[in-house]
Amino acid sequence: MLFDIDDTIVDTRSAFVAALAAVGARYLPPLPPDEAARRDEALLAMWRADTNGHYRRYTRGEVPYLEQKRARVNELHAAHGGPELDEAAFAAWDEVFDAAFRAAWVAHPETEAVLATLLDAGLALGALSNAATSMQTAKLTAAGLVDRVPLLVAVDTLGFGKPDPRVFLEACRRLGTDPARTAYVGDEADVDALGARDAGLVGVWLDRPGARRHPVDEASVTGVTVIRSLAELPDALGVPAGPATTASSRASTA
């Protein structure tokens, strides 16, 4: 069983909310509290959408990480009245962002129970991510997950990331499992579930309620399993859910 990390087992969305609110308060024009709250929502939506595809260029190995991030920051500022940042100013901005981002890393509430059920069933677990090894190992450690879901492959392992089939196959090789008998679950339909399917794995799309990062043509999402909560995963894989997982599922839909 392979997992994506961000917004799959770790609540990265909430961490982005905290980080963007911190830099917005320092770098963007002051606003009354209600307007600032609406702006924070707009910042999050724009950051996650990344409509010009800077982050995906990074995951294809086309641009350095900080280059894509600075481009996204300046687009964000241009849309919301912030200053354009040169390299030095961006470095200072990134310190504010990174401190708030790291302080907010936590696992999703249902993650613990789901992992316990999968491990009790004898499944081997690992993580495959489109972010850097150092960042994602720190994230798993902060969320208390690294001992159960070790990071196997990150974007810097092979120099590129999902949906390239080679990264899925390398993760299976390191996990010691047959790709055809290995499930991969992630929150993005194209790079996660469909990418896993095309690499010969069992693709699982975790389509949590709420706004998606990108528009999805649902008619194109075929040949994969779709779940709305991580708590649904054991049942979707045919793994009996223990009491803790069942309780978590009830709480997530309450």
Amino acid found at 69? K
What is the per-residue pLDDT across 55-98, written as a single tens digit (0 to 9) for each? 999 999 999 999 999 999 999 999 999 999 999 999 999 999 99
pLDDT at 209: 87
Amino acid found at 227? I
Amino acid found at 113? A
What is the per-residue pLDDT across 239-252, written as a single tens digit (0 to 9) for each? 876 554 444 444 44
Instruction: Look at strands 126-128 and 151-153 and give their pairing.
Output: parallel
Q: Which residues are paired to 107 by β-bridges?
A: 10
Of 204, 11, 188, 205, the C-alpha closest to 109 is 11
What is the per-residue pLDDT across 164-214, written as a single tens digit (0 to 9) for each? 999 999 999 999 999 999 999 999 999 999 999 999 999 999 999 887 787
Of 119, 115, 128, 98, the C-alpha closest to 16 is 98
pLDDT at 214: 79
Mean pLDDT of 35-57: 94
Q: Which residues are paired to 204 by β-bridges?
A: 185, 225
* Residue spans of alpha helices (H) in the chain: 12-27, 33-49, 54-59, 65-80, 87-103, 111-120, 133-142, 155-158, 165-175, 195-198, 233-236, 243-252
pLDDT at 250: 41
Amino acid found at 139? K
22-28, long-range: CB < 8 A, 24+ apart: 22/96, 22/97, 22/99, 22/100, 23/93, 23/96, 23/97, 23/100, 24/80, 26/96, 27/77, 27/82, 27/83, 27/93, 28/77, 28/80, 28/81, 28/82
pLDDT at 241: 61
Could you give the count of Cα atoms lying within 13 Å of 218 in the half-sphere of its Cβ? Answer: 4
What is the per-residue pLDDT across 99-112, written as a single tens digit (0 to 9) for each? 999 999 999 999 99
pLDDT at 240: 77
